[in-house]
C-alpha cells in the first residue's frame, strides 16, 4: 500500500470526524453526520483507495451505528427491484458469452461489409454497440478485442500502424456508446432509473428509455465513426484488407439458438412491456421480465450432441458456477448509492445543498445542462463512471428542483455523460482493455477522445433540451 493510498483511506474517516465536530447551519446534528459519511464515501469512491463495492457497504454499517436510520431502512435499497433487473441482464450477457453467440453475430456481420477498412470499422462498431446495449461494456470490449485484432493481423504491415488504433478505439468507444441505449446497458442508466423511482416516484420504463437512448446512441456512433474513419485516421484512403481471420464462420449450435430466442423474446417484452401488461392483465415489470429470462437460462435444458452420456448431453445453458462471473460489486454499488440518496433526501441534506445554487436562477437551462454534462465527463475521465453517478445524482436532483426544473433536466444528462469518457485509458474499462493490447498509444486516445468528448457534451445537451420537454 502506497502512502498516497493510505492518506486517501484516512481522509474518509477524517471527513466524518470534521462534520461531527462542526454542525452545518440549518442542518441537524444527524444531518451533519450524514454529510460526513457522504464525504467519506465520495472520497473513497473517487480515489478508489478502497474497492468501490466495499465503500458501497458503508451505509449498512454507519447509518444504524450513528442513528441516521434503522438497519432495515439502510439495507432495503440493496434489494431494489431495478437491481434485480440488472441481475437478469447480467445473466443474459453471460449466456451470450458462454455460448459464443456474440462471435456468430460479429463474424457474419464482418463478412457482409466486405474488405474496405472504413466499412470494417463501421461493422465492428455497430456490432460492439449492439452487444453493449445488453451486456456490460467491459465484457463487450473483452469479447470484441480479439475479433478486431484478427482483422488487423491479416492487413499489410504498413496498414496495421493505422488500422490497429482505429479499430481498437472504435471497439472501446462503441462499447461505451452502446450502453447509453438501454437501461441495462451501463450501470449509470439503471442507477438513474432506480434513483428516480425511489426519490421522486418517477418510473422509467425500458422502452421509454430506449426512445431517448437509441437515437442518441446512433447519433453518437455515427459521429464517432465519421471522426475516426474519415478525419482522424482517414481509412477511406486505405487499400482493402483482402482477407480476415474470421472469414470461416462455424455452424450455429443448439445452445446459441436457444439463447438467441430467449434474448429476442426478452428484448421484445422489455420494449412492449406496457402493452403486454395491459393486454395480459398481469403485473409485468422490467424486473419480472429480466428475472424470467434468467430463470429460463438456468432451467431450460439444451442437448449437446457430442456429449458422451445423457447427463452430460442435457444441461441448462447456465449453472450456478456461471454466476461467479456476475459483477456483484456493481450491484452493491447500486445499493449503496440508493441507500445514501434516500437518507440525504429524508434528512433534508439534498434540499440544503440545492439552496446554494439559487443564484443560477435565470440562467438558460441549455447552459446548465451543458455545464453538468461537461463536469460529469471530466470526472469520468478520472474515476469510475458509476461512482460518479452515485455521488452526483442525489445532489443534482434537488438542484434542478431549486431552479424550478424537473429533476430529469439534470439527472438524465448526468447519467448519459457518465458513459462518455473517451480520452484517458482510466476513463472507462473498455479504454483500459484496448490500451492494454499494446497496439495503441495514449496520444491517439487523447487526441481522438477529446474531440469526441466535446461532441458528446454537445449532442447530449441538444438532445436533452429537444426531447425532455416531450418525454416528461
Task: List the chain domain ranges.
Answer: 81-325
pLDDT per residue as tens digits for the range 420-469:
889 888 778 888 888 878 788 888 888 999 999 999 999 999 998 888 88
Q: What is the DSSP string of 199-218?
A: HH-PPPPHHHHHHHHHHHHH
pLDDT per residue as tens digits for the range 186-235:
889 988 988 898 888 888 888 889 989 999 999 999 999 999 999 888 88
Question: For 89-99, b where at least 16 C-beta lie within 10 A, e where not — what string?
Answer: bbbbbbbbbbb
Cβ neighbours of residue 349 closer than 8 Å, sequence gap 6 or more: 27, 31, 34, 35, 38, 343
Whether the pLDDT of residue 63 is over 80: the answer is yes
Q: What is the DSSP string of 233-295?
A: S-GGGSPPP---TT-SPPPPPHHHHHHHHHHHHHHHHHHTHHHHHHHH-S---HHHHHHHHHH
pLDDT for 57? 93
pLDDT per residue as tens digits for the range 79-102:
888 788 878 888 887 888 788 887
Amino acid at each position: 500500500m502506497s502512502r498516497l493510498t493510505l492518506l486517501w483511506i484516512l481522509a474518509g474517516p477524517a471527513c466524518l470526524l470534521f462534520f461531527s465536530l462542526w454542525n452545518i447551519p440549518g442542518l441537524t446534528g444527524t444531518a451533519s453526520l450524514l454529510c460526513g459519511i457522504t464525504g467519506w464515501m465520495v472520497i473513497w469512491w473517487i480515489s478508489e483507495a478502497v474497492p468501490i463495492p466495499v465503500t458501497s457497504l458503508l451505509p449498512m454499517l454507519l447509518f444504524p451505528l450513528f442513528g441516521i436510520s434503522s438497519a432495515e431502512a439502510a439495507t432495503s435499497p440493496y434489494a431494489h427491484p431495478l437491481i434485480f433487473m440488472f441481475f437478469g441482464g447480467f445473466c443474459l450477457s453471460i449466456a451470450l458469452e458462454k455460448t459464443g453467440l456474440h462471435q456468430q453475430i460479429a463474424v457474419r456481420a464482418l463478412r457482409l461489409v466486405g474488405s474496405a477498412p472504413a466499412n470494417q470499422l463501421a461493422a465492428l462498431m455497430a456490432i460492439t454497440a449492439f452487444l453493449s446495449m445488453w451486456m456490460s461494456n467491459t465484457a463487450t470490449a473483452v469479447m470484441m478485442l480479439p475479433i478486431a485484432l484478427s482483422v488487423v493481423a491479416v492487413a499489410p504491415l504498413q496498414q496495421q500502424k493505422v488500422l490497429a488504433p482505429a479499430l481498437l478505439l472504435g471497439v472501446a468507444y462503441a462499447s461505451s456508446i452502446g450502453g447509453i441505449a438501454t437501461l441495462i446497458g451501463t450501470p449509470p442508466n439503471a442507477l438513474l432509473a432506480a434513483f428516480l423511482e425511489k426519490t421522486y416516484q418517477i418510473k422509467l420504463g425500458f422502452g421509454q428509455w430506449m426512445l431517448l437512448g437509441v437515437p442518441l446512441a446512433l447519433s453518437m456512433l455515427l459521429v464517432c465513426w465519421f471522426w475516426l474513419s474519415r478525419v482522424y485516421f482517414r481509412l477511406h484512403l486505405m487499400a482493402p484488407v483482402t482477407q480476415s481471420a474470421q472469414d470461416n464462420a462455424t455452424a450455429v449450435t443448439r445452445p446459441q439458438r436457444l439463447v438467441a430466442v430467449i434474448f429476442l423474446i426478452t428484448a421484445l417484452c422489455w420494449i412492449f412491456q406496457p402493452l403486454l401488461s395491459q393486454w395480459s392483465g398481469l403485473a409485468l415489470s422490467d424486473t419480472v421480465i429480466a428475472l424470467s429470462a434468467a430463470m429460463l437460462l438456468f432451467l431450460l435444458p439444451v442437448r449437446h450432441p457430442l456429449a458422451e452420456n445423457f447427463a452430460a448431453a442435457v444441461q441448462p445453458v447456465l449453472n450456478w458456477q456461471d454466476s461467479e462471473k456476475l459483477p456483484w460489486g456493481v450491484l452493491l454499488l447500486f445499493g449503496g448509492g440508493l441507500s445514501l440518496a434516500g437518507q440525504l433526501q429524508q434528512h433534508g441534506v439534498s434540499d440544503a445543498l440545492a439552496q446554494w445554487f439559487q443564484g443560477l436562477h435565470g440562467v438558460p437551462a441549455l447552459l446548465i445542462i451543458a455545464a453538468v454534462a461537461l463536469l460529469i465527463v471530466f470526472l469520468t475521465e478520472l474515476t469510475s463512471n458509476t461512482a460518479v453517478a452515485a455521488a452526483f445524482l442525489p445532489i443534482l436532483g434537488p438542484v434542478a428542483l431549486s431552479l424550478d426544473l424537473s429533476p430529469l433536466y439534470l439527472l438524465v444528462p448526468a447519467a448519459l455523460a457518465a458513459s462518455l469518457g473517451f480520452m484517458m485509458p482510466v476513463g472507462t474499462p473498455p479504454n483500459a482493455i484496448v490500451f492494454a493490447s499494446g497496439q495503441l498509444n495514449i496520444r491517439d486516445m487523447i487526441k481522438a477522445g477529446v474531440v469526441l468528448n466535446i461532441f458528446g457534451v454537445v449532442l447530449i445537451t441538444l438532445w436533452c433540451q429537444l426531447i425532455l420537454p416531450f418525454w416528461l
